[in-house]
Structure 1
Protein backbone atom coordinates (compact mmCIF):
# COMPACT_ATOMS: atom_id res chain seq x y z
CA UNK A 1 0.00 0.00 0.00
CA UNK A 2 1.55 3.31 -1.06
CA UNK A 3 0.42 6.60 0.47
CA UNK A 4 1.01 10.10 -0.95
CA UNK A 5 4.11 11.82 0.37
CA UNK A 6 4.14 14.54 3.00
CA UNK A 7 5.57 17.63 1.36
CA UNK A 8 3.80 20.71 2.70
CA UNK A 9 1.83 21.88 5.73
CA UNK A 10 -1.46 22.13 3.87
CA UNK A 11 -1.92 18.41 3.43
CA UNK A 12 -0.79 17.29 6.90
CA UNK A 13 -4.29 16.51 8.21
CA UNK A 14 -5.30 14.54 5.14
CA UNK A 15 -1.95 12.78 5.16
CA UNK A 16 -2.34 11.62 8.76
CA UNK A 17 -5.90 10.44 8.18
CA UNK A 18 -4.92 8.51 5.06
CA UNK A 19 -1.90 6.93 6.69
CA UNK A 20 -3.74 5.91 9.85
CA UNK A 21 -6.23 4.00 7.70
CA UNK A 22 -3.48 2.27 5.73
CA UNK A 23 -1.46 1.43 8.86
CA UNK A 24 -4.37 -0.66 10.10
CA UNK A 25 -4.41 -2.59 6.81
CA UNK A 26 -0.65 -3.17 6.64
CA UNK A 27 1.65 -5.81 8.09
CA UNK A 28 4.84 -3.73 8.07
CA UNK A 29 5.22 0.05 8.23
CA UNK A 30 7.97 1.54 6.03
CA UNK A 31 8.65 5.28 6.16
CA UNK A 32 10.96 6.76 3.53
CA UNK A 33 12.71 10.09 4.14
CA UNK A 34 14.98 12.25 2.01
CA UNK A 35 18.22 12.43 4.00
CA UNK A 36 19.58 15.30 1.90
CA UNK A 37 17.19 17.73 3.63
CA UNK A 38 16.50 17.94 7.36
CA UNK A 39 12.74 18.14 7.05
CA UNK A 40 11.45 15.00 8.68
CA UNK A 41 8.12 16.18 10.17
CA UNK A 42 9.14 14.37 13.34
CA UNK A 43 6.08 15.27 15.41
CA UNK A 44 3.69 13.99 12.75
CA UNK A 45 5.63 10.81 12.04
CA UNK A 46 6.04 10.08 15.74
CA UNK A 47 2.26 10.17 16.19
CA UNK A 48 1.84 7.69 13.38
CA UNK A 49 4.48 5.18 14.43
CA UNK A 50 3.49 5.27 18.10
CA UNK A 51 -0.09 4.43 17.16
CA UNK A 52 0.82 0.87 16.11
CA UNK A 53 2.81 -2.08 17.44
CA UNK A 54 3.43 -3.44 13.95
CA UNK A 55 7.04 -3.74 12.69
CA UNK A 56 8.40 -0.36 11.65
CA UNK A 57 11.24 0.28 9.22
CA UNK A 58 12.81 3.68 8.58
CA UNK A 59 14.47 4.29 5.22
CA UNK A 60 16.74 7.23 4.47
CA UNK A 61 16.85 7.67 0.70
CA UNK A 62 19.24 9.71 -1.51
CA UNK A 63 22.26 8.63 0.50
CA UNK A 64 24.29 9.18 -2.68
CA UNK A 65 23.76 12.94 -2.34
CA UNK A 66 25.37 13.37 1.09
CA UNK A 67 28.54 12.40 2.93
CA UNK A 68 28.56 9.74 5.62
CA UNK A 69 29.30 12.42 8.23
CA UNK A 70 26.30 14.47 7.15
CA UNK A 71 24.03 11.42 7.25
CA UNK A 72 25.11 10.54 10.78
CA UNK A 73 24.62 14.14 11.89
CA UNK A 74 21.10 14.26 10.46
CA UNK A 75 20.08 11.03 12.15
CA UNK A 76 21.55 12.07 15.50
CA UNK A 77 19.41 15.21 15.39
CA UNK A 78 16.25 13.14 15.06
CA UNK A 79 14.72 11.81 18.27
CA UNK A 80 12.00 9.76 16.60
CA UNK A 81 14.38 7.24 14.98
CA UNK A 82 14.50 5.24 18.22
CA UNK A 83 10.89 4.18 17.59
CA UNK A 84 11.86 2.04 14.58
CA UNK A 85 12.88 -1.60 14.58
CA UNK A 86 15.35 -1.17 11.72
CA UNK A 87 16.95 1.70 9.79
CA UNK A 88 18.25 1.48 6.20
CA UNK A 89 20.31 3.93 4.17
CA UNK A 90 19.62 3.59 0.46
CA UNK A 91 19.88 5.24 -2.91
CA UNK A 92 16.96 4.34 -5.13
CA UNK A 93 18.63 6.13 -8.03
CA UNK A 94 21.90 4.21 -7.67
CA UNK A 95 20.17 1.00 -6.53
CA UNK A 96 22.35 1.06 -3.41
CA UNK A 97 21.32 -1.20 -0.50
CA UNK A 98 17.89 -1.80 -2.06
CA UNK A 99 18.18 -5.58 -1.90
CA UNK A 100 19.05 -5.42 1.80
CA UNK A 101 15.99 -3.26 2.38
CA UNK A 102 13.73 -5.68 0.52
CA UNK A 103 15.14 -8.61 2.47
CA UNK A 104 14.51 -6.72 5.70
CA UNK A 105 10.90 -6.03 4.76
CA UNK A 106 10.26 -9.64 3.76
CA UNK A 107 11.74 -10.84 7.05
CA UNK A 108 9.19 -8.75 8.96
CA UNK A 109 6.17 -9.99 7.01
CA UNK A 110 3.95 -12.59 8.69
CA UNK A 111 3.72 -16.02 7.12
CA UNK A 112 0.45 -17.04 5.54
CA UNK A 113 -1.09 -19.44 3.07
CA UNK A 114 -1.73 -18.32 -0.48
CA UNK A 115 -5.39 -17.45 -0.99
CA UNK A 116 -6.49 -19.35 -4.09
CA UNK A 117 -9.78 -17.49 -4.10
CA UNK A 118 -8.08 -14.29 -5.22
CA UNK A 119 -8.46 -13.57 -8.92
CA UNK A 120 -8.57 -10.49 -11.07
CA UNK A 121 -12.03 -11.21 -12.37
CA UNK A 122 -13.83 -11.08 -9.01
CA UNK A 123 -11.62 -8.96 -6.74
CA UNK A 124 -10.67 -6.08 -8.98
CA UNK A 125 -11.70 -5.03 -12.46
CA UNK A 126 -9.17 -5.32 -15.23
CA UNK A 127 -9.67 -1.64 -16.07
CA UNK A 128 -8.59 -0.56 -12.60
CA UNK A 129 -5.70 -3.01 -12.53
CA UNK A 130 -4.42 -1.89 -15.94
CA UNK A 131 -4.61 1.73 -14.78
CA UNK A 132 -2.60 1.01 -11.63
CA UNK A 133 0.12 -0.76 -13.60
CA UNK A 134 0.49 2.25 -15.89
CA UNK A 135 0.53 4.58 -12.90
CA UNK A 136 3.36 2.53 -11.41
CA UNK A 137 5.26 2.96 -14.67
CA UNK A 138 4.72 6.72 -14.43
CA UNK A 139 6.11 6.62 -10.89
CA UNK A 140 9.16 4.73 -12.15
CA UNK A 141 10.15 7.39 -14.65
CA UNK A 142 9.01 10.56 -12.87
CA UNK A 143 10.35 11.56 -9.46
CA UNK A 144 9.13 13.79 -6.59
CA UNK A 145 5.36 14.10 -6.05
CA UNK A 146 4.17 14.32 -9.65
CA UNK A 147 2.83 10.72 -9.79
CA UNK A 148 0.43 11.48 -6.93
CA UNK A 149 -1.07 14.27 -9.01
CA UNK A 150 -1.69 11.90 -11.90
CA UNK A 151 -4.77 9.82 -12.57
CA UNK A 152 -4.82 7.02 -15.14
CA UNK A 153 -8.12 5.91 -16.64
CA UNK A 154 -8.63 2.85 -18.82
CA UNK A 155 -11.50 3.96 -21.02
CA UNK A 156 -11.52 1.09 -23.50
CA UNK A 157 -10.50 -2.56 -23.38
CA UNK A 158 -10.79 -4.98 -26.27
CA UNK A 159 -10.06 -8.65 -25.66
CA UNK A 160 -9.13 -10.46 -28.82
CA UNK A 161 -8.02 -14.06 -29.27
CA UNK A 162 -4.31 -13.32 -29.29
CA UNK A 163 -4.15 -9.73 -28.15
CA UNK A 164 -5.42 -7.25 -25.55
CA UNK A 165 -6.01 -3.72 -26.83
CA UNK A 166 -5.95 -1.25 -23.95
CA UNK A 167 -6.70 2.45 -24.32
CA UNK A 168 -5.81 4.79 -21.47
CA UNK A 169 -5.77 8.49 -20.62
CA UNK A 170 -3.17 9.87 -18.23
CA UNK A 171 -4.70 12.94 -16.58
CA UNK A 172 -2.38 15.64 -15.23
CA UNK A 173 -3.09 18.97 -13.53
CA UNK A 174 -1.57 21.40 -16.01
CA UNK A 175 0.33 21.80 -19.26
CA UNK A 176 3.71 21.82 -17.49
CA UNK A 177 2.99 18.39 -16.03
CA UNK A 178 1.83 17.24 -19.45
CA UNK A 179 5.18 18.24 -20.96
CA UNK A 180 7.01 16.32 -18.23
CA UNK A 181 4.99 13.16 -18.83
CA UNK A 182 5.42 13.36 -22.60
CA UNK A 183 9.11 14.20 -22.46
CA UNK A 184 11.22 15.54 -25.30
CA UNK A 185 9.93 14.12 -28.57
CA UNK A 186 7.69 11.80 -26.55
CA UNK A 187 10.61 9.83 -25.11
CA UNK A 188 9.20 9.64 -21.54
CA UNK A 189 5.67 8.56 -22.46
CA UNK A 190 7.20 5.95 -24.77
CA UNK A 191 9.21 4.48 -21.88
CA UNK A 192 6.14 4.54 -19.64
CA UNK A 193 4.09 2.74 -22.27
CA UNK A 194 6.70 0.04 -22.84
CA UNK A 195 7.15 -0.59 -19.11
CA UNK A 196 3.40 -0.78 -18.46
CA UNK A 197 2.78 -3.02 -21.47
CA UNK A 198 5.50 -5.48 -20.44
CA UNK A 199 4.14 -5.67 -16.89
CA UNK A 200 0.59 -6.31 -18.11
CA UNK A 201 1.82 -8.99 -20.51
CA UNK A 202 3.81 -10.67 -17.76
CA UNK A 203 0.88 -10.77 -15.33
CA UNK A 204 -1.85 -11.73 -17.78
CA UNK A 205 0.20 -13.98 -20.09
CA UNK A 206 -1.24 -12.18 -23.09
CA UNK A 207 0.16 -10.01 -25.87
CA UNK A 208 -0.84 -6.38 -25.28
CA UNK A 209 -1.22 -3.30 -27.46
CA UNK A 210 -1.28 -0.25 -25.16
CA UNK A 211 -2.43 3.16 -26.39
CA UNK A 212 -1.71 6.15 -24.12
CA UNK A 213 -3.01 9.70 -24.29
CA UNK A 214 -2.06 12.55 -21.93
CA UNK A 215 -4.65 15.19 -21.05
CA UNK A 216 -4.98 17.99 -18.51
CA UNK A 217 -7.74 17.98 -15.93
CA UNK A 218 -8.38 20.35 -12.99
CA UNK A 219 -10.28 17.70 -11.04
Structure 2
Protein backbone atom coordinates (compact mmCIF):
# COMPACT_ATOMS: atom_id res chain seq x y z
CA UNK A 1 0.00 0.00 0.00
CA UNK A 2 1.43 3.38 -1.05
CA UNK A 3 1.99 6.08 1.54
CA UNK A 4 -0.44 9.01 1.29
CA UNK A 5 -0.14 12.64 2.33
CA UNK A 6 -2.02 15.83 1.62
CA UNK A 7 -4.19 18.69 2.78
CA UNK A 8 -7.86 18.25 3.69
CA UNK A 9 -9.87 21.48 3.95
CA UNK A 10 -12.84 21.78 6.31
CA UNK A 11 -15.66 23.72 4.65
CA UNK A 12 -18.78 24.87 6.47
CA UNK A 13 -20.93 27.69 7.72
CA UNK A 14 -19.80 29.78 10.73
CA UNK A 15 -20.18 27.83 13.99
CA UNK A 16 -20.65 24.52 12.15
CA UNK A 17 -18.21 22.73 14.46
CA UNK A 18 -15.08 22.73 12.27
CA UNK A 19 -12.65 23.81 14.99
CA UNK A 20 -14.23 21.45 17.53
CA UNK A 21 -13.84 18.53 15.13
CA UNK A 22 -10.21 19.42 14.42
CA UNK A 23 -9.33 19.63 18.12
CA UNK A 24 -11.25 16.41 18.79
CA UNK A 25 -9.40 14.47 16.10
CA UNK A 26 -5.98 15.71 17.21
CA UNK A 27 -6.59 15.45 20.92
CA UNK A 28 -4.84 18.82 21.11
CA UNK A 29 -6.03 22.43 21.01
CA UNK A 30 -5.11 24.12 17.73
CA UNK A 31 -8.33 25.95 16.83
CA UNK A 32 -10.32 28.27 19.08
CA UNK A 33 -13.82 27.17 20.03
CA UNK A 34 -16.62 29.38 21.37
CA UNK A 35 -20.40 29.37 21.24
CA UNK A 36 -20.33 32.47 19.04
CA UNK A 37 -20.25 32.20 15.22
CA UNK A 38 -17.41 33.35 12.96
CA UNK A 39 -14.57 33.11 15.47
CA UNK A 40 -12.04 31.46 13.13
CA UNK A 41 -10.21 34.12 11.13
CA UNK A 42 -7.00 32.51 9.91
CA UNK A 43 -6.68 29.00 8.58
CA UNK A 44 -5.34 26.53 11.13
CA UNK A 45 -3.62 23.28 10.14
CA UNK A 46 -3.64 20.20 12.36
CA UNK A 47 -1.52 17.16 11.48
CA UNK A 48 -2.39 13.48 11.94
CA UNK A 49 0.46 11.09 11.09
CA UNK A 50 0.75 7.30 11.17
CA UNK A 51 2.64 4.65 9.21
CA UNK A 52 0.13 4.80 6.34
CA UNK A 53 -0.52 8.51 5.82
CA UNK A 54 -0.11 12.08 6.94
CA UNK A 55 -3.39 14.03 6.94
CA UNK A 56 -3.05 17.81 7.16
CA UNK A 57 -6.48 19.09 8.20
CA UNK A 58 -7.08 22.78 7.47
CA UNK A 59 -9.76 24.62 9.44
CA UNK A 60 -10.93 27.58 7.35
CA UNK A 61 -13.20 30.50 8.31
CA UNK A 62 -16.91 29.86 7.91
CA UNK A 63 -18.49 30.48 4.52
CA UNK A 64 -19.89 33.98 4.14
CA UNK A 65 -20.39 36.34 1.22
CA UNK A 66 -18.72 39.72 1.64
CA UNK A 67 -16.27 41.87 -0.28
CA UNK A 68 -15.28 44.44 2.33
CA UNK A 69 -12.98 44.73 5.33
CA UNK A 70 -12.29 41.77 7.57
CA UNK A 71 -15.10 39.76 5.96
CA UNK A 72 -13.33 39.99 2.60
CA UNK A 73 -10.26 38.49 4.27
CA UNK A 74 -12.31 35.65 5.77
CA UNK A 75 -13.84 34.85 2.39
CA UNK A 76 -10.45 34.92 0.64
CA UNK A 77 -9.02 32.56 3.28
CA UNK A 78 -11.83 30.09 2.66
CA UNK A 79 -11.49 30.28 -1.13
CA UNK A 80 -7.72 29.77 -0.91
CA UNK A 81 -8.12 26.75 1.37
CA UNK A 82 -10.57 25.19 -1.10
CA UNK A 83 -8.22 25.85 -4.02
CA UNK A 84 -5.07 24.52 -2.35
CA UNK A 85 -6.51 21.47 -0.57
CA UNK A 86 -6.12 18.00 -2.04
CA UNK A 87 -9.51 17.00 -0.63
CA UNK A 88 -12.39 18.60 1.27
CA UNK A 89 -14.79 17.79 4.08
CA UNK A 90 -18.17 19.52 4.11
CA UNK A 91 -19.12 20.17 7.75
CA UNK A 92 -22.91 20.31 8.06
CA UNK A 93 -24.39 21.50 11.34
CA UNK A 94 -27.60 19.52 11.86
CA UNK A 95 -28.92 22.44 13.95
CA UNK A 96 -28.68 24.86 11.01
CA UNK A 97 -32.04 26.65 10.90
CA UNK A 98 -31.95 27.35 7.15
CA UNK A 99 -31.54 24.12 5.10
CA UNK A 100 -30.57 26.21 2.07
CA UNK A 101 -27.34 27.11 3.86
CA UNK A 102 -26.41 23.42 4.02
CA UNK A 103 -27.31 23.02 0.35
CA UNK A 104 -24.90 25.85 -0.48
CA UNK A 105 -22.08 24.14 1.41
CA UNK A 106 -22.72 20.88 -0.43
CA UNK A 107 -22.84 22.66 -3.79
CA UNK A 108 -19.69 24.69 -3.06
CA UNK A 109 -17.76 21.59 -2.02
CA UNK A 110 -18.92 19.53 -4.99
CA UNK A 111 -18.17 22.39 -7.41
CA UNK A 112 -14.51 22.39 -6.33
CA UNK A 113 -13.88 19.21 -8.30
CA UNK A 114 -11.86 17.84 -5.37
CA UNK A 115 -12.52 14.46 -3.76
CA UNK A 116 -14.65 15.00 -0.67
CA UNK A 117 -16.91 13.61 2.01
CA UNK A 118 -19.46 15.09 4.40
CA UNK A 119 -19.55 15.24 8.19
CA UNK A 120 -22.88 15.86 9.92
CA UNK A 121 -21.94 17.70 13.11
CA UNK A 122 -23.57 18.55 16.46
CA UNK A 123 -25.82 15.47 16.27
CA UNK A 124 -26.29 15.32 20.03
CA UNK A 125 -30.05 15.01 20.46
CA UNK A 126 -32.44 12.13 19.76
CA UNK A 127 -34.78 14.49 17.90
CA UNK A 128 -32.04 14.95 15.31
CA UNK A 129 -32.62 11.44 13.93
CA UNK A 130 -35.15 12.40 11.23
CA UNK A 131 -33.11 15.40 10.08
CA UNK A 132 -29.94 13.30 9.97
CA UNK A 133 -31.61 10.67 7.76
CA UNK A 134 -32.95 13.34 5.43
CA UNK A 135 -29.55 15.02 5.17
CA UNK A 136 -27.72 11.73 4.61
CA UNK A 137 -30.11 10.96 1.74
CA UNK A 138 -29.31 14.32 0.17
CA UNK A 139 -25.56 13.72 0.55
CA UNK A 140 -25.94 10.35 -1.20
CA UNK A 141 -27.18 12.15 -4.33
CA UNK A 142 -23.66 13.59 -4.63
CA UNK A 143 -22.17 10.10 -4.55
CA UNK A 144 -19.96 10.75 -1.52
CA UNK A 145 -19.83 9.12 1.93
CA UNK A 146 -20.96 10.81 5.14
CA UNK A 147 -20.14 10.50 8.84
CA UNK A 148 -22.22 11.61 11.83
CA UNK A 149 -20.29 13.08 14.77
CA UNK A 150 -21.30 14.26 18.22
CA UNK A 151 -19.52 15.75 21.20
CA UNK A 152 -20.63 12.60 23.04
CA UNK A 153 -18.51 10.39 20.79
CA UNK A 154 -15.07 9.36 22.01
CA UNK A 155 -12.08 10.67 20.05
CA UNK A 156 -10.96 7.09 19.34
CA UNK A 157 -14.34 6.19 17.82
CA UNK A 158 -14.45 9.29 15.60
CA UNK A 159 -10.87 8.68 14.46
CA UNK A 160 -11.52 5.00 13.76
CA UNK A 161 -14.40 5.87 11.44
CA UNK A 162 -13.21 9.09 9.84
CA UNK A 163 -9.43 8.69 9.44
CA UNK A 164 -9.52 5.75 6.97
CA UNK A 165 -12.02 7.71 4.85
CA UNK A 166 -9.78 10.79 4.85
CA UNK A 167 -6.77 8.70 3.83
CA UNK A 168 -8.69 7.37 0.83
CA UNK A 169 -9.13 10.92 -0.46
CA UNK A 170 -5.41 11.77 -0.41
CA UNK A 171 -2.80 11.47 -3.17
CA UNK A 172 0.20 9.15 -2.96
CA UNK A 173 3.33 10.64 -1.44
CA UNK A 174 6.88 9.30 -1.08
CA UNK A 175 7.00 10.52 2.54
CA UNK A 176 5.25 12.74 5.09
CA UNK A 177 5.15 16.43 4.16
CA UNK A 178 5.94 17.58 7.71
CA UNK A 179 7.85 16.23 10.70
CA UNK A 180 5.74 13.28 12.00
CA UNK A 181 6.27 14.50 15.58
CA UNK A 182 4.42 17.81 15.15
CA UNK A 183 0.63 18.18 15.33
CA UNK A 184 0.21 21.68 13.89
CA UNK A 185 1.94 24.13 11.56
CA UNK A 186 1.07 26.99 13.94
CA UNK A 187 3.89 28.56 15.93
CA UNK A 188 3.38 29.27 19.62
CA UNK A 189 3.25 33.03 19.09
CA UNK A 190 0.23 32.67 16.80
CA UNK A 191 -1.40 30.10 19.08
CA UNK A 192 -1.00 32.45 22.05
CA UNK A 193 -2.77 35.21 20.11
CA UNK A 194 -5.61 32.87 19.21
CA UNK A 195 -6.09 31.66 22.79
CA UNK A 196 -6.26 35.26 24.03
CA UNK A 197 -8.80 36.04 21.32
CA UNK A 198 -10.84 32.97 22.32
CA UNK A 199 -11.06 34.29 25.89
CA UNK A 200 -12.18 37.67 24.53
CA UNK A 201 -15.08 35.88 22.85
CA UNK A 202 -15.92 34.10 26.10
CA UNK A 203 -15.93 37.16 28.34
CA UNK A 204 -17.03 39.95 25.98
CA UNK A 205 -20.45 40.32 24.43
CA UNK A 206 -22.44 41.63 21.46
CA UNK A 207 -20.23 43.21 18.77
CA UNK A 208 -17.23 43.82 21.04
CA UNK A 209 -15.31 40.53 20.55
CA UNK A 210 -15.78 40.72 16.78
CA UNK A 211 -13.98 44.06 16.78
CA UNK A 212 -10.93 42.77 18.66
CA UNK A 213 -7.57 41.71 17.33
CA UNK A 214 -4.59 40.40 19.26
CA UNK A 215 -1.05 41.52 18.59
CA UNK A 216 1.73 39.66 20.40
CA UNK A 217 4.46 42.25 20.95
CA UNK A 218 6.99 39.92 22.61
CA UNK A 219 7.16 36.15 23.10
CA UNK A 220 10.18 35.27 25.24
CA UNK A 221 10.84 31.61 26.08
CA UNK A 222 14.62 31.35 26.47
CA UNK A 223 15.07 33.58 29.51
CA UNK A 224 14.48 31.01 32.24
CA UNK A 225 11.71 28.57 33.16
CA UNK A 226 8.89 31.09 32.60
CA UNK A 227 7.60 31.98 29.13
CA UNK A 228 6.87 35.71 28.97
CA UNK A 229 4.18 36.98 26.61
CA UNK A 230 3.40 40.66 26.08
CA UNK A 231 0.33 41.32 23.96
CA UNK A 232 -2.14 44.01 22.96
CA UNK A 233 -5.89 43.52 22.80
CA UNK A 234 -6.86 45.94 20.05
CA UNK A 235 -10.42 47.27 19.71
CA UNK A 236 -11.97 49.23 16.86
CA UNK A 237 -13.97 51.76 18.89
CA UNK A 238 -13.07 54.01 21.80
CA UNK A 239 -16.26 52.98 23.59
CA UNK A 240 -15.21 49.33 23.51
CA UNK A 241 -12.01 49.94 25.45
CA UNK A 242 -13.82 50.43 28.75
CA UNK A 243 -15.87 47.26 28.12
CA UNK A 244 -12.74 45.18 27.55
CA UNK A 245 -10.97 46.63 30.59
CA UNK A 246 -14.06 46.33 32.79
CA UNK A 247 -14.77 47.81 36.21
CA UNK A 248 -11.54 47.93 38.23
CA UNK A 249 -9.89 46.09 35.29
CA UNK A 250 -11.78 42.91 36.21
CA UNK A 251 -12.65 41.87 32.63
CA UNK A 252 -9.18 42.17 31.11
CA UNK A 253 -7.77 40.50 34.23
CA UNK A 254 -10.18 37.56 33.79
CA UNK A 255 -9.29 37.28 30.09
CA UNK A 256 -5.60 37.25 31.00
CA UNK A 257 -5.95 34.69 33.79
CA UNK A 258 -7.98 32.25 31.69
CA UNK A 259 -5.72 32.66 28.63
CA UNK A 260 -2.65 32.04 30.78
CA UNK A 261 -4.17 28.87 32.27
CA UNK A 262 -5.05 27.57 28.80
CA UNK A 263 -1.59 28.29 27.42
CA UNK A 264 0.12 26.68 30.41
CA UNK A 265 -1.84 23.49 29.73
CA UNK A 266 -0.74 23.55 26.09
CA UNK A 267 2.99 24.17 26.65
CA UNK A 268 3.26 22.53 30.10
CA UNK A 269 5.29 25.48 31.39
CA UNK A 270 4.64 28.48 33.61
CA UNK A 271 3.62 31.61 31.71
CA UNK A 272 3.70 35.31 32.51
CA UNK A 273 1.07 37.08 30.38
CA UNK A 274 0.90 40.88 30.17
CA UNK A 275 -2.12 42.37 28.34
CA UNK A 276 -2.84 45.97 27.40
CA UNK A 277 -5.92 47.32 25.61
CA UNK A 278 -5.37 49.64 22.63
CA UNK A 279 -7.78 51.47 20.32
CA UNK A 280 -7.18 51.51 16.56
CA UNK A 281 -10.29 53.11 15.16
CA UNK A 282 -12.10 51.06 12.49
CA UNK A 283 -9.11 48.76 11.98
CA UNK A 284 -11.40 46.12 10.45
CA UNK A 285 -12.16 48.43 7.52
CA UNK A 286 -8.61 49.59 6.74
CA UNK A 287 -6.25 47.38 4.73
CA UNK A 288 -3.04 48.77 6.24
CA UNK A 289 -4.22 48.07 9.78
CA UNK A 290 -5.55 44.63 8.84
CA UNK A 291 -2.15 43.73 7.37
CA UNK A 292 -0.53 44.73 10.65
CA UNK A 293 -2.51 41.93 12.31
CA UNK A 294 -1.80 39.44 9.50
CA UNK A 295 -5.17 39.73 7.78
CA UNK A 296 -4.08 40.08 4.16
CA UNK A 297 -6.70 39.60 1.44
CA UNK A 298 -5.26 37.24 -1.20
CA UNK A 299 -5.50 38.28 -4.84
Question: The TM-score by the shorter chain falls in which range?
Answer: 0.5 to 0.7
The reply on whether 1:165 has 2:228 as its aligned counterpart is yes
Count the aligned residue pairs: 205
Q: CA deviation at 1:164?
A: 1.8
**Residues 75 and 124 from structure 1, CA distance in 2 versus in 1: closer, same or farther, beyond 3 angstroms?**
closer
In structure 1, the partner of 2:289 is none
Distance across 1 between alignment mates of 2:149 and 2:193? 31
Alignment check: 8 A CA contact 1:16 1:44 kept: no
Number of the residue aligned with 1:49? 110
Shift in CA distance, 43/126, structure 1 to aligned 2, threshold 3 Å: closer
1:22 aligned onto 2:81: yes
CA RMSD of aligned residues (A): 4.6
Q: CA deviation at 1:87?
A: 2.7
Q: Once the two structures are superposed, what CA deviation does each residue of 1:11-36 show, in whole Å capped at 9, x if it has no partner?
A: 69956643232124335523333322
Alignment of 1:25-36 (within 5 A): 25-36=84-95
Q: Which has more helix, going by share of residues?
A: 1
CA contact (8 A) 1:20 1:48 kept: no
Gap runs ≥5 in structure 2? 1-57, 284-299
Please tell me whether the aligned partners of residues 49 and 56 of structure 1 are also in contact (alpha carbons under 8 angstroms). Answer: no
2:62 aligned partner:
5
Shift of 1:153: 1.1
Separation (CA, whole Å) in 1 of partners of 2:102 and 2:80:
19
Task: Name segments (4+ residues, structure 1) moved above 6 Å.
Answer: 139-148, 180-184
Q: Which residue of 2 aligns with 1:213?
A: 276
d(CA) in 2 for partners of 1:31 and 1:74? Answer: 16
1:193 to 260, 263, 266: 260
CA change 1:169–1:86 in 2 (3 A) is same
**Structure 2 CA distance for partners of 1:69 and 1:105, relative to 1, 3 Å:** closer
Structure 1 portions without partners, runs of 5+: none
Aligned 8 A contact 2:89 2:118 in 1: yes
SS in 2 for 1:59: strand
Distance 1:162-1:196 versus aligned 2 partners, 3 A rule: closer
Higher RCO, Cα 8 Å, sep 6+: 2
> For 1:160, what is the secondary structure of its paired residue?
coil
Contact 2:63 2:78 in 1 (8 A): no
Would the alpha carbon gap of residues 3 and 16 (structure 1) be closer, same or farther in structure 2, given more than 3 Å must change?
same
Matched-pair contact (CA < 8 Å) for 1:27–1:55: no
